[in-house]
């Protein structure tokens, strides 16, 4: 007997158009206790054309003139509902995301909380102020003393976005950003996780049905010749999330007049200086490192592939690894690693064995790992001077370095792909070290334990995600009538 049967749609379109969506097929996901029927729409040009027409019209009639204050309140309310553990859509999403992606429910829960906690009223106001100074520029022309005239910021009429990853709750960021700049938004869900975005838009519908009329999300096979170029042709801005290759091939299909923002795959790392390699607080710091490596099962670009530990402190890097391993194990009890593919598991076993043989061979190597499964791995070696990516899924490489300033040269080659660094140096070298990382291309520097929770204010991938969507109109007049 199946205890839980859920029927969902892999799309969300405004109410008026809903009965025009034809279902082409139903995907079935199931485990011992749950069965999910996911309805896949059949998409053609005619439908997309009507949808885009509708989104643009509703934006013009409603969202374009909605005060930014109201928009923030609606989005804040949406985040609050999603933070409520009893909110039915959240409870449903926990089941569907976990079953479809393989992430454990605990991981999904932790990532939903992290995303939504940084998507509240104050966060949005701070992000707006940081990026555009005065948020009221979005409402109407504001007097600017620097200009000696009036300025106003306009968002694109229609943002089209392609999501191609399974990171839970990532797509809501793009809908929030579009709404904040008063743009209609049409997204494409990732096949790897197609359920969250439609549910999130349902929440917007509950709170402000008219705003929801300006937002939509669809499902189609990635790379379909017909749909993507057609859609990009009609967008004012396109925001891409995905692999380096995917983004490259999509970019070629975007017409020149359309603004394009790319969030490609990137990677993270951590650096801990000898002043922080202390016995006191060791367990806590090790837990923070373990958390960075375990959130989203290390699949987000925020996650570290490597943690560099400086030698010469009170605690040696190897000793530190023991503490990290213990913390990884505890965390795995509390927030288990998800299901992974045979290829991913095999990659972990193969790399573990390579480390193990180097250890047996008397090299300065240590491998600590869950047994018999691949849940987590801590692999220590002396910094080889090159940056080798991890096979992920909670496999952290730890490199021992004599001096933290030996780290940056190895990062130079991958500068544009550096995302996120946890830095804990604990002495006066920290400032200089951070300066160097910034120059290399790192987009965000934070503390261990915080890698997976950037704030809404973050310059996502090093760009200003709101300001980049805007265009400005300046009026060089001091006329009181304006």
Distance (Å, rounded) from C-alpha 17 to C-alpha 25? 19
Report CA-CA distances (Å) from 244 to 224, 266, 311, 346: 18, 9, 35, 24
# residues contacting another protein (CB under 8 A):
55
Q: Which stretch binds another protein (CB under 8 A): 8-16, 42-50, 223-231, 367-375?
A: 367-375
Report CA-CA distances (Å) from 440 to 118, 418, 420, 444: 27, 8, 12, 12
To another protein, the closest distance from the beta carbon of 454 in angstroms equals 13
Angle in degrees, 0-180, between the axes of helices 121-132 and 171-180, rounded to the nearest 10: 60
**Which positions from 158 through 197 interact with another protein, judged by CB under 8 A?**
164-167, 170, 190-192
Task: Please list, in sequence order, all residues whose beta carbon lies within 8 angstroms of the beta carbon of residue 124, skipping any fewer than 6 positions away.
Answer: 72, 75, 76, 176, 180, 456
Q: Does 4 contact another protein by CB under 8 A?
A: no
Q: Which stretch binds another protein (CB under 8 A): 28-36, 85-93, 175-183, 350-358?
A: 350-358
**Which positions from 75 through 104 interact with another protein, judged by CB under 8 A?**
101
100 touches 193 (CB < 8 A): yes
Q: How many CB atoms neighbour CB 16 within 10 A?
A: 11
Q: Does 265 contact another protein by CB under 8 A?
A: yes
Q: Which is nearer to another protein, 101 or 332 (CB)?
A: 101
Q: Does 28 contact another protein by CB under 8 A?
A: no
Q: Which residues pair with 311 in a beta bridge?
A: none
Report CA-CA distances (Å) from 293 to 112, 165, 339, 391, 445: 17, 18, 16, 12, 16
* Residue choice 312, 357, 385, 403 for contact with another protein (CB under 8 A): 357
To another protein, the closest distance from the beta carbon of 13 in angstroms equals 23
Q: Does 350 contact another protein by CB under 8 A?
A: yes
Residues constituting the chain: 482
**Which positions from 110 through 169 interact with another protein, judged by CB under 8 A?**
164-167
* Residue choice 347, 422, 437, 440 for contact with another protein (CB under 8 A): 347
Distance (Å, rounded) from C-alpha 184 to C-alpha 62? 10
Q: Which is nearer to another protein, 111 or 151 (CB)?
A: 111
Report CA-CA distances (Å) from 219 to 36, 55, 87, 474: 16, 17, 25, 39
Q: Does 458 contact another protein by CB under 8 A?
A: no
Site string for another protein, 391-420 (x = CB under 8 A): xx--------------------xx--x---
* Residue choice 98, 151, 246, 452 for contact with another protein (CB under 8 A): 246
Q: Which is nearer to another protein, 282 or 418 (CB)?
A: 418
* Residue choice 4, 26, 341, 447 for contact with another protein (CB under 8 A): 341
* DSSP 8-state code for residue 469: G
Distance (Å, rounded) from C-alpha 12 to C-alpha 218? 7
* Residue choice 46, 360, 479, 480 for contact with another protein (CB under 8 A): 360
Structure tokens at 393: 């899924």
Distance (Å, rounded) from C-alpha 31 to C-alpha 39? 18
Q: Which is nearer to another protein, 14 or 102 (CB)?
A: 102
Distance (Å, rounded) from C-alpha 45 to C-alpha 231? 9
Q: How many CB atoms neighbour CB 271 within 10 A?
A: 27
Q: Which is nearer to another protein, 96 or 246 (CB)?
A: 246
Q: Does 296 contact another protein by CB under 8 A?
A: yes
Q: Does 441 contact another protein by CB under 8 A?
A: no
Binding site for another protein (CB under 8 A): 101, 164-167, 170, 190-192, 222, 241-246, 263, 265-268, 296-301, 303, 305, 341-347, 349-351, 353-354, 356-358, 360-361, 372-374, 389, 391-392, 413-414, 417
């Amino acid at each position: 007997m199946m205890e839980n049967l859920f029927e969902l749609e892999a799309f969300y379109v405004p109410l008026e158009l809903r009965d025009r969506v034809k279902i082409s097929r139903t995907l079935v996901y199931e485990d011992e206790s749950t069965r999910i029927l996911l309805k896949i729409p059949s998409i053609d040009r005619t439908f997309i054309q009507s949808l885009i027409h509708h989104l643009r019209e509703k934006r013009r009639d409603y969202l374009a003139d909605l005060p930014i204050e109201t928009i923030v309140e609606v989005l804040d309310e949406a985040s609050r509902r999603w933070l409520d553990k009893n909110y039915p859509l959240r409870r449903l999403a926990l089941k569907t995301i976990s079953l479809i992606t393989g992430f454990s429910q605990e991981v999904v829960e932790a990532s939903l909380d992290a995303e939504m906690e940084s998507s509240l009223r104050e966060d949005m106001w701070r992000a707006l102020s940081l990026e555009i100074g005065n948020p009221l520029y979005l409402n109407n022309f504001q007097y600017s003393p620097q200009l000696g005239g009036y300025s106003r910021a306009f968002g694109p009429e229609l943002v089209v976005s392609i999501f191609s990853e399974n990171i839970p709750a990532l797509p809501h960021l793009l809908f929030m950003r579009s709404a904040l700049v008063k743009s209609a938004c049409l997204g494409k869900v990732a096949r790897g996780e197609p359920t969250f975005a439609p549910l999130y838009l349902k929440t917007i519908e509950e709170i402000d049905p008219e705003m929801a009329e300006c937002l939509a999300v669809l499902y189609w096979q990635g790379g379909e010749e017909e749909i993507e170029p057609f859609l990009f042709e009609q967008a004012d801005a396109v925001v891409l999330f995905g692999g380096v290759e995917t983004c490259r091939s999509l970019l070629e299909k975007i017409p020149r007049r359309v603004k394009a923002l790319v969030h490609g795959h990137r990677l993270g790392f951590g650096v801990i200086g000898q002043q922080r390699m202390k016995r006191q607080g060791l367990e806590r710091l090790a837990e923070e490192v373990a958390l960075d490596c375990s959130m989203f099962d290390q699949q987000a670009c925020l996650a570290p592939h490597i943690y560099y530990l400086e030698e010469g402190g009170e605690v040696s890097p190897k000793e530190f690894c023991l503490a990290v391993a213990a913390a990884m194990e505890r965390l795995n009890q509390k927030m288990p690693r998800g299901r992974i593919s045979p290829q991913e598991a095999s990659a972990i076993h193969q790399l573990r064995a390579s480390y193990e043989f180097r250890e047996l061979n008397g090299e300065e190597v240590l491998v600590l790992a869950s047994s018999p499964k691949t849940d987590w791995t801590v692999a220590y070696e002396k910094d080889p001077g090159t940056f080798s990516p991890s096979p992920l899924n909670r496999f952290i490489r730890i490199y021992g370095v004599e001096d933290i300033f030996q780290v940056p040269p190895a990062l130079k080659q991958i500068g544009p792909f550096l995302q996120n660094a946890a830095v804990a140096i604990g002495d006066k070298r920290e400032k200089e070290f951070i300066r160097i990382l910034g120059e290399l291309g790192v987009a965000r520097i934070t503390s261990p334990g915080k890698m997976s929770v950037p704030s809404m204010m973050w310059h996502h991938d090093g760009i200003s995600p709101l300001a980049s969507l805007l265009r400005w109109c300046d009026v060089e007049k001091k006329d009181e009538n304006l």
